[in-house]
Chains A and B, each alone.
Chain A
Amino acid sequence: MTRTMINALLLLMACGVLAFLGVTRGTLPISASQLWALLNGEAARNVQLIVLEWRLPRVMMALLIGAALGVSGAIFQSLLRNPLGSPDILGFNTGAYSGVLVALVLFQQNMEGMTLAALAGGLLTAGVVWLFSWRNGVETFRLIIVGISVRALLMALNSWLIISASLEAALSAGLWSAGSLNGITWAKTMPVITVLLLALLATGMLARRMRLLEMGDDTACALGVPVERSRIMLMLTGVILTAASTALAGPISFIALLAPQIARRLSGGTKGALPLAALCGALLLIAADYAAQHFFLPSQLPVGVITVSLGGLYLIALLVREARRQ
């Protein structure tokens, strides 16, 4: 058993424990025996309702969205060869959220419409950032600063959209402006789950090419990888993963920055980094969501507040370390 496998198993177990806690803990605690009864189909109606309809969708989506964000971050960090090149710093999730707001506020769309709008917003933002940082090629630092500017612009646009919305729409939109998993039901998750699973599948198929691209364009080309096409496809999948997550949970920051970093540390290299990044993302988000729900009672914080605080601190540490090394 390799080190990567052991780490992956440990992460999986940690996710399992947190998922169990997420399902059982709350104002109405569910005991393990009740859960067992539920699995055998013998549970009381109220236990069924609480576990299957209220807590399970939240836990599942925390895991899935966390994984999607982790993978998305891993893709961008690999493509840009820079730990700071994550979709949240580049403003892609803010753009996706703008799409959601436009759909919600101006067109009163349902979940399918909002998912499509989030995808459109994310892709459009990615295109704009890319275009503005193009100058005889894209340099990562220019890309990052352009991303920061576009993000600031979009945040202004978002707060304007929220202000100009009707009170009802503004309340439901403002609730996830920091990124939150509150009030998730199965009905809402379906379009997002479909998109996320497809995009994760596509990433799995592109993973080998991504590895080869990391060796440099020439090597990859010599090994038969169509360089530009692979890069664009990888980027598309990365943006779609971020945007679809945003459609459901709002712009959750810094999971995409943190997860691939931890994964890289755990795997001791790049091998198997994608599945590990997915697991790290899932674990981070479900842990942050558990903390946001249970550690600050009676209030429930949006999970984005937790991730932004953790991730920002890590980002500062990262900058300090990089500076030291030079």
Chain B
Amino acid sequence: MRQLRAIAGSGMLLLLLIALSLMLGARPVPFHDVTHALLSDCSRIDCVIVRDARLPRTLAGLLAGISLGLAGALMQSLTRNPLADPGILGVNAGAGFAVVLGIALSGADSPAEWLGFAFTGALLASLLVAMTGAIGGGRVNPLRLTLAGVALGAVLEGLTSGLSLLNPDIYDHLRFWHSGSLDIRNFAILRTIFPAVVAGSLLALLLARSLNSLSMGGDMATALGTRVMRTQLVGLLAIALLSGAATAAVGPIAFVGLMTPHLARWLLGNDHRWMLPGTLVITPCLLLAADILGRLLVPGELRVSIVTAILGAPMLIVLVRRKLGRGEI
């Protein structure tokens, strides 16, 4: 019951934030004008702002939030690493690098092609991180995994910026894409990533039960009838789908996927059947709130990736102090 109430509360918060995200900005639009703009055909400036700028932006926040949150939660559960996040572990950087490589080699310029590349890159990067962390056998050491991810992210970002500096064409594409901002003004991108987000989310939610038994340790999970290998592979696939989709749409945004699974666990407990849906609702709240904050705090807007880094980095510090202190890492 407590869990239901928490999820319902988060859901209401999400609705409120969606409304605020449509209303607030450099030019505030009152609520009834927003509904008017969405439901009827009107061509006043307010309607155009809501329909062409704020609606895609809000939807992007929703989809990217869901993807990043679930990807983070899956990573944390699968690697049993409380510090995991697709941004920190370099998976988003992998997706970004693959997109840039795709533009450089094959001149890909449609969102669908970007998504393909982003997905492949995310998959390879998460495989690479998992393998680096797993060498040495047995349990993945969280700190080593984090460092491996940071290293991988640094290399990939270095290569990405190298490629984009060498090729003005890529630089031009990147200006619009590689920014970590929700302000995309393009429904085509959203339509392209939508199926990937839905598929990834479904996979993640279906894994909830296996993840529960996996959290008791590999041997215990096997004894309980969970196929550990399959769970991990499906999880990896879902992570790649989700972070690939998010990165293809809004560019690299870190720390969101780190924060909300912890928040969901704190609100809903460790049961993945509650925790994963909780994450699914809470993460878009955080992303939209960060985006709205970024719009209001400074004239000319702060990109959401900057706001999330400012919110999320202290969180990482708190986590590492608490967990290391208690010997949980």
For B307, the chain A residues whose CB sits under 8 A away are 156
- Please judge, given known A-B contacts A153-B310, A324-B136, whether A312 and B158 are in contact too, CB under 8 Å: yes
Is there an interface contact between B321 and A132, defined as CB atoms closer than 8 Å? yes
Alpha-carbon distance between A77 and B255 when the two chains are bound, in angstroms: 28
Is there an interface contact between A160 and B302, defined as CB atoms closer than 8 Å? yes
* A interface residues, how many (CB within 8 angstroms): 46
Alpha-carbon distance between A142 and B329 when the two chains are bound, in angstroms: 10
Interface assignment of B306: CB less than 8 Å from any CB of chain A: yes
Is there an interface contact between A148 and B310, defined as CB atoms closer than 8 Å? no
Alpha-carbon distance between A129 and B191 when the two chains are bound, in angstroms: 43
Interface assignment of B188: CB less than 8 Å from any CB of chain A: no
Interface mask (A136-152 → B, CB under 8 Å = 1, otherwise 0): 00010110111011101
For A160, the chain B residues whose CB sits under 8 A away are 302, 306
Is there an interface contact between B147 and A144, defined as CB atoms closer than 8 Å? yes
In angstroms, how far is the closest chain B Cβ from the Cβ of A292? Answer: 9
In angstroms, how far is the closest chain B Cβ from the Cβ of A94? Answer: 12
Interface assignment of A320: CB less than 8 Å from any CB of chain B: yes
Is there an interface contact between B325 and A135, defined as CB atoms closer than 8 Å? yes
Interface assignment of A309: CB less than 8 Å from any CB of chain B: yes
In angstroms, how far is the closest chain B Cβ from the Cβ of A235? Answer: 20
Is there an interface contact between B316 and A148, defined as CB atoms closer than 8 Å? yes
For A148, the chain B residues whose CB sits under 8 A away are 88, 146, 150, 316
Interface assignment of A315: CB less than 8 Å from any CB of chain B: yes
- Please judge, given known A-B contacts A156-B310, A315-B154, whether A145 and B316 are in contact too, CB under 8 Å: yes
Alpha-carbon distance between A315 and B148 when the two chains are bound, in angstroms: 8
Interface mask (B144-158 → A, CB under 8 Å = 1, otherwise 0): 101110111011111
In angstroms, how far is the closest chain A Cβ from the Cβ of B74? Answer: 21
Comparing B60-68, B161-169, B218-226, the segment that makes contact with chain A is: B161-169
Interface mask (A102-132 → B, CB under 8 Å = 1, otherwise 0): 0000000000000000000000000000001
Is there an interface contact between A156 and B305, defined as CB atoms closer than 8 Å? yes
For B316, the chain A residues whose CB sits under 8 A away are 145, 148-149, 152
Is there an interface contact between A312 and B146, defined as CB atoms closer than 8 Å? no
Alpha-carbon distance between A61 and B162 when the two chains are bound, in angstroms: 22
Alpha-carbon distance between A149 and B316 when the two chains are bound, in angstroms: 6
Is there an interface contact between B309 and A316, defined as CB atoms closer than 8 Å? no
Q: Kindly identify, within residues 175 to 227 of chain A, every residue whose CB is under 8 Å from any CB belonging to chain B.
A: 178
Is there an interface contact between B158 and A305, defined as CB atoms closer than 8 Å? yes
- Please judge, given known A-B contacts A132-B317, A324-B135, whether A312 and B154 are in contact too, CB under 8 Å: yes
Is there an interface contact between A312 and B155, defined as CB atoms closer than 8 Å? yes
Is there an interface contact between B320 and A145, defined as CB atoms closer than 8 Å? yes
- Please judge, given known A-B contacts A135-B321, A142-B320, A316-B132, whether A308 and B148 are in contact too, CB under 8 Å: no
Alpha-carbon distance between A306 and B159 when the two chains are bound, in angstroms: 8
- Please judge, given known A-B contacts A145-B146, A156-B309, A312-B155, whether A305 and B314 are in contact too, CB under 8 Å: no
Interface assignment of B313: CB less than 8 Å from any CB of chain A: yes
Alpha-carbon distance between A254 and B313 when the two chains are bound, in angstroms: 22
Q: Kindly identify, within residues 291 to 310 of chain A, every residue whose CB is under 8 Å from any CB belonging to chain B.
A: 296, 299, 301-302, 304-306, 308-309
Q: Kindly identify, within residues 245 to 264 of chain B, every residue whose CB is under 8 Å from any CB belonging to chain A.
A: 254-255
Is there an interface contact between A156 and B151, defined as CB atoms closer than 8 Å? no
- Please judge, given known A-B contacts A139-B324, A142-B324, whether A316 and B151 are in contact too, CB under 8 Å: yes
Is there an interface contact between B166 and A296, defined as CB atoms closer than 8 Å? yes
In angstroms, how far is the closest chain B Cβ from the Cβ of A132? Answer: 5
Query: Of all chain B residues, which has the CB nearest A159?
Result: B306
Interface assignment of A155: CB less than 8 Å from any CB of chain B: yes
Task: Show 6 residue pairs from A and B whose CB-CB distance is below 8 angstroms, ordered by the A residue.
Answer: A156-B305, A163-B300, A305-B159, A306-B162, A309-B155, A312-B158
Further pairs besides A135-B324, A299-B166: 11, Cβ < 8 Å: A135-B321, A142-B320, A142-B324, A152-B255, A157-B310, A253-B158, A305-B165, A308-B154, A309-B159, A312-B154, A315-B154
Q: Give residues in A with beta carbon < 8 Å to B.
A: 84, 89, 132-133, 135, 139, 141-142, 144-146, 148-150, 152-153, 155-157, 159-160, 163-164, 178, 253-254, 296, 299, 301-302, 304-306, 308-309, 311-313, 315-316, 319-320, 322-324, 326
